[in-house]
């Protein structure tokens, strides 16, 4: 028996390199995403505008920390207008579209996403000169007993709509300040079985998020079910003086997990936080 | 190329070969346990990595966890037939994870009732598609929605099942290892089947609530049991001593994560530092520890 196992192990080793070559293909990008989101645009693959950080192995596919870092500060003359994020192999690859402003200070963004299987994560940036650039990272989402859902949805549901801001100590006037926005929401994917009719199959997720400081925009986002339960964002804003940081968001419920044609509006939420540099 | 194809043919034929019979030991009168070695579920072991077993009463048999693959379910059914002529009347699923429920279909017949936590059916509905979708690729097994059998009997709090002069007390726990863990207490032998509420040697895996699990361990620790059956690890005869490694690991994790949250640290920072010295104490640490830190962090950052 031992011998049989050894042989099989050797065979497995010989076959592995063929599997490894399948990492990070551009099929979904080339056949679906590019034409759907960037028809007619020329997109350069480069790390000169933004860089993407993601773990190579995601032990918890329900919460994969991802970070986009911009390569230059936001200024009136040169700034990043938008960043799109996609998880190619998710049933609904679109993660979000994030709009930044010169007043954002830095177009950096950290968030947590769901990754269903082995997939590229892709970030596309549009700068104010109308140019597009793209960068990607391959992530192996773990199998086993893990599912990209969330461990305790009842707890997230109980807290639904609760919001927390976290700012570093020593926020300085006129300097980009890093802030963390935490929203409690189960962000249901709607990816449920068909056979059991007693369960709601609709998705229920935050679709729009707007952050302002003293009424001026800091971050506008259109987001979807690939955002982990209890959405968590880190980004910058520039507090020139004391004021009010405000997050406003809405949620939505859609009939199909993979189409946004039939959706019904949910609630509107708002939370403010006083900042005094 | 021909060579490779031939090799793949060999592999396929191996995987479709009949499974060796399951090893079982009678750990107490009428309680039969198959203890598994600790492995990451893969195409070689087909996900057959959990402890499974059955309890025989005067009237009928209760299966506790049906196995990690349909084939293991069949092997378990065959074993039961060799041990007793009494019919299976209950299949108790201790929670939703595939290594505990994929044998269910082997027992689907009139007269058999499936039993689970009141949140098991929902967990099966929300996770089932994802599990099934990856089973062929990751575990090399063929499963579909027929393999996910929701409970006929749902336990809300506690419930007693009678196997004929043998009472099993089922307890639906609050969110711990998962949000749908059920334990089985056999009054006759003072044996509790904790399933994945207890891990030994195999690193504990959080897929529910670290706070809930710590709380529940505190309550269970005070009880007296002659025998305790973990979901992963050897049979326990020294309760609560054998609980202590798991308790220490989870307590340490909670303490460190809370401290980092208080200091304004991020999840990414926690993943790179929390609990790493515990590696020497646990098998499959690399596969599960960072998941545990992630889930603990995401839960504890909302506790105040």
Residues B83-136 pLDDT 10s = 999 999 999 999 999 999 999 999 999 999 999 999 999 899 888 888 998 899
| CB proximity under 8 Å: A 188-247 to B | 191-193, 195-196, 199, 228-230, 232, 234
- The answer to whether residue B279 sits within a structural domain is no
- The answer to whether residue A67 sits within a structural domain is yes
Domain containing residue B172: 18-240
B273-291 per-position pLDDT tens digit: 999 999 999 999 999 999 9
Task: Work out how many domains chain B is built from and give that number.
Answer: 1
- The answer to whether residue A113 sits within a structural domain is yes
Judge: A199–B10 Cβ closer than 8 Å, yes or no: no
Q: Is A21 within 8 Å of chain B by CB?
A: no
- Cis omega (within 30 of 0) for bond into B240: yes
pLDDT, position B304: 80
Residue by residue, pLDDT tens for chain A (277 residues) are: 444 445 444 444 444 444 443 478 999 999 999 999 999 999 999 999 999 999 999 989 999 999 999 999 999 999 999 999 999 999 999 999 999 999 899 999 999 999 999 999 999 999 999 999 999 999 998 776 778 877 777 888 888 889 999 998 788 999 999 999 999 999 988 865 544 545 556 889 999 999 999 999 999 999 999 999 999 999 999 999 999 999 999 999 998 878 898 899 999 999 999 998 8
A40 Cα to chain B: minimum distance (Å):
35
Domain containing residue A50: 22-275
Q: Which of B4, B11, B295 sits opposite A60 (nearest CB)?
A: B295
pLDDT, position A73: 96
Please state the rounded mean pLDDT for residues B187-194.
Answer: 98
Judge: B41–A143 Cβ closer than 8 Å, yes or no: yes
Task: Work out how many domains chain A is built from and give that number.
Answer: 1
Q: Is the ipTM of this complex over 0.85?
A: yes
- The answer to whether residue B9 sits within a structural domain is no
- The answer to whether residue B8 sits within a structural domain is no
Please state the rounded mean pLDDT for residues B181-209.
Answer: 98
Q: Is A158 within 8 Å of chain B by CB?
A: no
CATH number at residue B47: 3.60.15.30
The two three-digit tokens of residue B47, written as one number: 């996900």
pLDDT, position A256: 80
Per DSSP, the three-state class of A252 is strand
Q: Is the pLDDT of residue B13 over 70?
A: no
- The answer to whether residue A11 sits within a structural domain is no
Per DSSP, the three-state class of A161 is coil
CATH number at residue A29: 2.60.40.2470
A208 Cα to chain B: minimum distance (Å):
22
What pTM was computed for the model?
A: 0.90
Bridge partners for A270 per DSSP? A248
């Amino acid at each position: 028996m031992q011998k049989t196992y050894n042989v099989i192990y050797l065979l497995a080793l010989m076959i592995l390199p063929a599997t490894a070559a399948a990492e990070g293909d551009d099929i979904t990008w080339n056949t679906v995403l590019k034409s759907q989101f960037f028809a007619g645009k020329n997109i350069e693959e480069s790390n000169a505008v933004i860089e993407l950080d993601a773990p190579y192995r995601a032990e918890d596919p329900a919460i994969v920390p991802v970070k986009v870092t911009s390569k230059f500060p936001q200024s009136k003359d040169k700034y990043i207008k938008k960043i799109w994020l996609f998880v190619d192999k998710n049933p609904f690859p679109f993660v979000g579209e994030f709009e930044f402003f010169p007043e954002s200070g830095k177009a950096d963004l950290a968030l947590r996403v769901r990754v269903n299987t082995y997939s590229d994560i892709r970030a596309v940036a549009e700068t104010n000169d109308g140019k597009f650039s793209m960068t990607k990272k391959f992530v192996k989402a773990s199998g086993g007993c893990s599912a990209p859902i969330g461990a305790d949805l009842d707890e997230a549901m109980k807290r639904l709509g609760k919001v927390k801001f976290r700012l570093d100590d020593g926020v300085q006037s006129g300097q980009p300040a890093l802030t963390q926005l935490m929203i409690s929401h189960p962000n249901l994917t709607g990816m449920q079985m068909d056979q059991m009719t007693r369960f709601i199959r609709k998705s229920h997720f935050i679709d729009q998020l707007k952050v302002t400081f003293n009424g001026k925009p800091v971050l506008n986002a259109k987001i979807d079910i690939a955002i982990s339960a209890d959405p968590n964002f880190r980004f910058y804003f520039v507090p020139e003086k004391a004021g009010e940081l405000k997050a406003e968001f809405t949620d939505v419920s859609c009939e199909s997990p993979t189409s946004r044609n039939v959706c019904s509006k949910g609630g509107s939420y708002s939370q403010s936080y006083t900042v005094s540099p | 190329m021909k060579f490779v194809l031939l090799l793949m043919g060999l592999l396929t034929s191996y995987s479709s070969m009949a499974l060796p019979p399951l090893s079982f030991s009678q750990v107490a009168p009428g309680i039969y346990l198959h203890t598994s070695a600790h492995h990451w579920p893969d195409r070689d072991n087909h996900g057959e990595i959990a402890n499974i077993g059955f309890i025989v009463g005067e009237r009928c048999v209760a299966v506790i966890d049906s196995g990690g693959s349909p084939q293991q379910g069949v092997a378990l059914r065959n074993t039961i037939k060799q041990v007793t002529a009494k019919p299976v009347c209950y299949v108790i699923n201790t929670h939703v994870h595939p290594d505990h429920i994929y044998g269910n279909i082997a027992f689907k017949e009139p007269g058999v009732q499936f039993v689970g936590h009141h949140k098991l059916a929902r967990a099966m509905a929300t996770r089932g598609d994802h599990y099934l979708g990856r089973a062929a690729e990751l575990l090399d097994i063929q499963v579909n929605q027929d393999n996910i059998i929701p409970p006929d009997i749902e336990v809300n709090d506690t419930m007693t099942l009678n196997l004929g002069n043998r009472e099993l007390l089922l307890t639906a726990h609050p969110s711990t290892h998962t949000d749908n863990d059920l334990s089985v207490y056999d009054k006759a032998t003072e044996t509790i089947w904790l399933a994945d509420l207890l891990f030994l040697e195999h690193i504990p895996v959080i897929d529910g609530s670290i706070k809930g699990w710590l709380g529940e361990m505190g309550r269970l620790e005070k009880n007296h049991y002659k025998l305790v059956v973990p979901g992963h690890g050897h049979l326990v005869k020294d309760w609560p001593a054998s609980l202590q490694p798991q308790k220490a690991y989870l307590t340490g994790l909670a303490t460190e994560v809370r401290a980092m949250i208080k200091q304004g640290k991020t999840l990414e920072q926690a993943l790179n530092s929390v609990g790493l010295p515990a590696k020497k104490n646990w098998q499959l640490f690399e596969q599960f520890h960072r998941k545990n830190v992630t889930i603990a962090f995401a839960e504890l950052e909302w506790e105040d």
